[in-house]
Amino acid sequence: MTGPCRILTDIEPSLRFSFDGKQMFARPGEALAAALLGNGVNLVGRSFKYHRPRGVMAAGVEEPNALVTVGEGARATPNTRATDVFVYDGLVARSQNAWPNIRFDLGAILGLSAPIFAAGFYYKTFFGPPKLWMFYEHFIRRAAGLGPSPKVADDDQYDHRAAFCDVLVVGSGPAGLKAARDAALEGQRVILVEQDAVLGGSLLRNGADVAAIEATRAVVLGAAGRVLTRTTATGVWDQGMVTLNQLLVEPGQAGDTGQRHWHVRAKQIVLATGAIERPMTFANNDLPGVMLSQSARSYIKRFAVLPGQRAVIVTNNDDAYLTAQAIIEAGGEVVAILDARAEASAVAQKASERMTLHLGAAVVKATGNADGVRAVEALVGGKPMTFAADLLAMSGGFSPVVHLHSQAGGKLEWRDDLQAYVPGVVGQNVISVGSAAGELDPVGGTAPTLKKPKKSFIDFQNDVTAADIDLAWQEGYRSVEHLKRYTTLGMATDQGKTSNLPALARLANAAGVDIPQAGLTTFRPPYTPVTLGALAGPDAGGHVAPERRLALYDVHAAHNPIWQPLGYWHRPRAYPLAGETLHQAALREARAVRNCVGMIDVSTLAKFAVKGPDAAAFLEIVCATPVAKLAVGRGRYTFNLREDGMVMDDGTVWRLGETDYLLTSSTGGAERMEAHLSYVQHVLASQLRVSVVAQQEHFAGIALAGPQARAVLESLTGDAAAAHMGVARGMIAGVPVLILAASYSGERAFEIYAQGHAAKPVWEALEAEVRTRGGYPYGLEAIEFLRIEKGHVVVGGEADGRTTAHDLGLEKMLNKKGGYVGASALARPALSAPDRLQLVGLESLGGSVPEGAMLVAAQGKPVEGHVTSAALRIDTEQGIALALLKGGRARLGETITATSPTLGIHTQVRVVAPHFYDPEGSRYRD
Amino acid sequence: MMLIQCPHCGPRAQVEFTYVRSMDSIVPLDSTPEAAMATLYARDNPRGVSDEIWRHTHGCHQFMTIRRHTVSHDIVAVVPFGEALPS
């Protein structure tokens, strides 16, 4: 009998699971990797590039080989480490990157990929004819890869949580348990996190005292602390912030909430993250049955699974002798211990009394097949020897897990005796303890330099061999950062947990320098992969953004409008009558405004109450137009500039009282305008005595527009309506309202404002009167038709952040005194140059004018501008548009082409002034 | 994810704050065009200590000056805007 098997205990394998469709059983508490080994499965997956057979190499999150997809349908979780998922009843696991199946994989049988996928293969395909590259691209995408992502929406729910503590301890091995216990006994609030399902860390493979562990848990809980298992500290950030990812169910398992993402702010962070054993580099070191020594011991001591019957141990340190001992105790045979050190340590000396020990020995090659190792070829004192074995347990030394220390801004120090980096100084209140701090067995001996290291893997998960590193070096990649990107070393989902140091060693060897001179890549969060859903948390689907509802939402909803999202707001786009399309409804609504009367909810406009003795002076800073001369009870159009002179926003400013102003601006720019006004008030002009209050949501606004607007208003208020740009106060349906006589549509119009909570009767009274006269409520689509026809610009459309007042034809309105934000920058001549993109109108000579179309003299000629918004004449339905055209204002009357290659539309248009309707404003002026 | 000591609200998470600009990028209203351009576009991008304006946008709305290290993210001092940072 060869290969892995169970060690008999009184715990029965009672959990059902399947691997590649085959039913198996696991003991409760078993990791999937242990369960597979316990069922005699050595071959778990195929490798990323070369489709090489792979088994289980590790027993923790560092596992690079045994990646499987667990779960089905929406819960399928690809690239799950079999060592990092605990079997639950009904678990379904599948191998990855193999076709037709893991045993007879076509990619591996044909050996297609090997010559193509050498270091830098991807970049090399960029040279040569493009068609060849496209062939490679196709081939690479099919041949290389890991598990496929599920194609359906994730069913799982994710939770977010914040917490604070005095001491956060990461890792529950002996050092972490001691740190947590000591802190809790001092009365500190401790959060102890452990990525494994149970506490103990290295104790689990070295003999755990369960009672002592549970006593520590009780001490922590007794001091108002928390103990979180299945929880990984994924990143350390600034000022004691640590993100934790907690698995509430196992990957692929159904549950109410799958994972919880924590933000913990800790006064002190204790990193007891342990160390990761390093593999050794020799030919076929990726065969199933080649395993890290401590991991082999974990399977034996923790899971009662013997990973092989006849073991060869290869080591450069004393720790592996514990593994040898464990194998013998479990009934296995240790064929030989190959110790790289020239002289026997005390531990080795003692072991040699019972086991075959070879000093100064190194493995050069493992041989076997997809089912595992069969023999080990070694050099002992320079002499070749071969050992029959089905398990090769290797220990190339230990690398402290310094990831979180580095993320906290900590430096690293090289320790020659460990051949590893250990934590150095760190700015934050972070300490490393135990093996993470370098309390480890020293290593010794030197590995022989491999001559033909083709199948000697360094990065197992990304299939990077020692030969790839040598090749990259030969091709001139000297910096470790370049080498990493060129070979993809350390860039797999394991982020090089096992490969980092062996790679540096190989690079240092090629460069003829010591490892510390070879450089080091950066450790970045997350420590282990995090499901994107956990980062999004509950903010998914309909909760991805808040929905802001109008004060009059229910009134609109009763009309069953077509809704349009506008930032976080949802506004009616049109109110179709039975059988009407959006276009038909919008045209009817717009015609009601032109010919009769209409009303629209404009509550979302930004509104700022600006009050105080210096209110006018403040407004002359934030508005690019003069404000000071505005009479009480009057308003005017205004616009605001950014500091670079570009138009930022536009709106109206009203003088409601002597020192009492109302400033309005666009819906979409409301938050930006609030920040800008506040900046001016507190930073640029803090000497001014002014108060600015954002009132966007305090007031509901209704615009009433059309030839009959005045009659509607007067019939409801009983007062004579204000003149154009005048202010009035009145009562509608018993509700006090503020009336501003402004027109956006191009018709006689009034904006009527009431307290949001009281606005419903106002709307209802207005709507009844409007409908009596044959008018309609209208939505955003109709207002687009109306404003484009009138030639009014919108922020984001024509005022796109690159246009100046001159470009938009607003330069005559600028405050000649200057002194406003953006005035200095705007003084640069280039910002008013006549050859800039300028606002023009376009009239279609037949066919539609697509929004976003490019403007060219003729097809194939250079682009000279673009269509910013398109509509049609409300009476004749002729296509019209607003556009930005190079030197446009001097080109009125020209015929050019609006071309949209993506839509396949090319329309001849005439350049005209951007006012298609009533340019004199006779419809609303008094 | 810094922890910022708001002069008015105490230690609060960075998500409550908005970075406004560096102190050396304030464009005075009476700038010449050249000075405005230099301030806006030709500023230092310090690797090290930086004096910045922040606003507690999702809190007290107040502006403050923060002296901060751009690499380590250490916050050296926070004062209400307009008050001098400790020398």
pLDDT digits (tens, 9 = 90+) for A542-555: 888 889 999 999 99
Across chain A, mean pLDDT equals: 93
pLDDT reading at A425 higher than 80: yes
Chain A residues with CB under 8 Å of B81 CB are 682-683
pLDDT reading at A94 higher than 90: yes
Chain B residues with CB under 8 Å of A643 CB are 27, 36, 40
| Least confident window among A127-131, A432-436, A515-519 | A127-131
* Residue among A236, A239, A425 with most chain B CBs within 10 A, to mutate: A239
Q: Is B78 on the interface with A (CB under 8 A)?
A: no
Instruction: Point out the residue among A238, A683, A825 whose CB comes nearest to the CB of B81.
Output: A683
The pLDDT value recorded for residue A374 is: 97
The pLDDT value recorded for residue A717 is: 96
Chain B residues with CB under 8 Å of A537 CB are none
List, in sequence order, the alpha helices (H) in B1-87: 33-41
* Residue among B27, B29, B43, B83 with most chain A CBs within 10 A, to mutate: B29
Instruction: Point out the residue among B14, B33, B40 whose CB comes nearest to the CB of A827.
Output: B33
Q: Is A685 on the interface with B (CB under 8 A)?
A: yes
Q: Is A438 on the interface with B (CB under 8 A)?
A: no
Q: Which residues of chain B from 15 to 34 reach within 8 Å of chain A, CB to CB? A: 18, 20, 26-33
pLDDT digit string, tens, across residues A788-828: 999 999 999 999 999 999 999 999 999 999 999 999 999 99
Q: What is the DSSP letter of A474?
A: H
pLDDT digit string, tens, across residues A477-501: 988 888 888 998 988 888 899 999 9
The pLDDT value recorded for residue A145 is: 63
Distance from the B76 Cα atom to the nearest Cα atom in chain A, whole angstroms: 12
Cβ–Cβ under 8 Å, residues A502 and A420: no
Q: What is the DSSP letter of A757?
A: G
Q: Is A307 on the interface with B (CB under 8 A)?
A: no
Distance from the A820 Cα atom to the nearest Cα atom in chain B, whole angstroms: 7
Instruction: Point out the residue among A239, A679, A819 whose CB comes nearest to the CB of B29.
Output: A819
Across chain B, mean pLDDT equals: 95
Output the DSSP codes for A63-90.
Answer: --S-EEEES-GGG-EEEEEGGG-B--TT
Asked if A819's CB is within 8 angstroms of B20's CB, the reply is no
The mean pLDDT value for A858-864 works out to 93
The pLDDT value recorded for residue A143 is: 60
The pLDDT value recorded for residue A261 is: 98
Give the CB-side neighbour count of residue A751, counting CA atoms within 13 A. Answer: 25
Instruction: Point out the residue among A238, A643, A819 whose CB comes nearest to the CB of B36.
Output: A643
- By C-alpha distance, the chain B residue nearest A686 is B82
Asked if A824's CB is within 8 angstroms of B33's CB, the reply is yes
pLDDT reading at A139 higher than 90: no
pLDDT reading at A521 higher than 80: yes
The pLDDT value recorded for residue A110 is: 58
Asked if A237's CB is within 8 angstroms of B81's CB, the reply is no
Q: How far apart are CA A578 and CA B32, in angstroms?
A: 61
Of the candidates A486, A901, A815, the residue with the CA atom closest to the CA atom of residue A624: A815
pLDDT digit string, tens, across residues A177-230: 999 999 999 999 999 999 999 999 999 999 888 999 999 999 999 999 999 999
The pLDDT value recorded for residue A382 is: 87
The pLDDT value recorded for residue A847 is: 87
* Residue among A686, A820, A824 with most chain B CBs within 10 A, to mutate: A824
Distance from the B15 Cα atom to the nearest Cα atom in chain A, whole angstroms: 12
- By C-alpha distance, the chain B residue nearest A243 is B1
Chain A residues with CB under 8 Å of B55 CB are 675, 678-679
- By C-alpha distance, the chain A residue nearest B20 is A679
pLDDT digit string, tens, across residues A8-56: 999 999 999 999 999 999 999 999 999 999 999 999 998 888 889 999 9
pLDDT digit string, tens, across residues A533-544: 999 999 888 888
Cβ–Cβ under 8 Å, residues A677 and A622: yes
pLDDT digit string, tens, across residues A752-792: 999 999 999 999 999 999 999 999 999 999 999 999 999 99
What is the Cα Rg of chain B in Å?
14
Q: Is A617 on the interface with B (CB under 8 A)?
A: no
Q: Is A821 on the interface with B (CB under 8 A)?
A: yes
Host H or E run for residue A881 = strand A879-886
Cβ–Cβ under 8 Å, residues A281 and A453: yes
Asked if B57's CB is within 8 angstroms of A643's CB, the reply is no
Q: How far apart are CA A299 and CA A55, in angstroms?
A: 14
Residue B7: band (very low, low, confident or very high) from pLDDT cuts 50, 70, 90: very high
The pLDDT value recorded for residue A906 is: 95
Indicate whether this model's pTM tops 0.80.
yes
Alpha-carbon dihedral sign for residues A780, A781, A786, A792: positive
- By C-alpha distance, the chain B residue nearest A819 is B29
Q: Which residues of chain A from 397 to 416 reach within 8 Å of chain B, CB to CB? A: 409
What is the torsion angle, in degrees rounded to the nearest 10, for the CA atoms of residue A850, residue A566, residue A886 and residue A904?
A: -20
Residue A733 vs residues A728, A737, A750, A769, B33: alpha-carbon distances, Å:
16, 10, 17, 12, 54
Q: What is the DSSP letter of A306?
A: E
pLDDT reading at A134 higher than 70: no
Residue A618: band (very low, low, confident or very high) from pLDDT cuts 50, 70, 90: very high
Chain B residues with CB under 8 Å of A427 CB are 72, 74
Q: Is B44 on the interface with A (CB under 8 A)?
A: no
pLDDT digit string, tens, across residues A286-330: 999 999 999 999 999 999 999 999 999 999 999 999 999 999 999
Residue A136: band (very low, low, confident or very high) from pLDDT cuts 50, 70, 90: low
A134: CB partners within 8 A, 6+ apart: none
Q: Is A817 on the interface with B (CB under 8 A)?
A: no
pLDDT reading at A1 higher than 70: no
pLDDT digit string, tens, across residues A226-252: 999 999 999 999 999 999 999 999 999
Asked if A621's CB is within 8 angstroms of B81's CB, the reply is no
The pLDDT value recorded for residue A98 is: 75
Cβ–Cβ under 8 Å, residues A838 and A809: yes
% of chain A residues with pLDDT over 70: 95
Asked if A825's CB is within 8 angstroms of B1's CB, the reply is no
pLDDT digit string, tens, across residues B17-38: 999 999 999 999 999 999 999 9
pLDDT reading at A894 higher than 70: yes
The pLDDT value recorded for residue A581 is: 97
Instruction: Point out the residue among A239, A820, A824 whose CB comes nearest to the CB of B36.
Output: A824
Q: How far apart are CA A898 and CA A850, in angstroms?
A: 8
Chain B residues with CB under 8 Å of A237 CB are 1
- By C-alpha distance, the chain A residue nearest B31 is A824
Q: How many residue pairs bridge chain A and chain B with CB atoms within 8 Å of each other?
A: 73
Q: Is A674 on the interface with B (CB under 8 A)?
A: no
Asked if B32's CB is within 8 angstroms of A409's CB, the reply is no
Q: Is A672 on the interface with B (CB under 8 A)?
A: no
Instruction: Point out the residue among A644, A686, A824 whose CB comes nearest to the CB of B82.
Output: A686
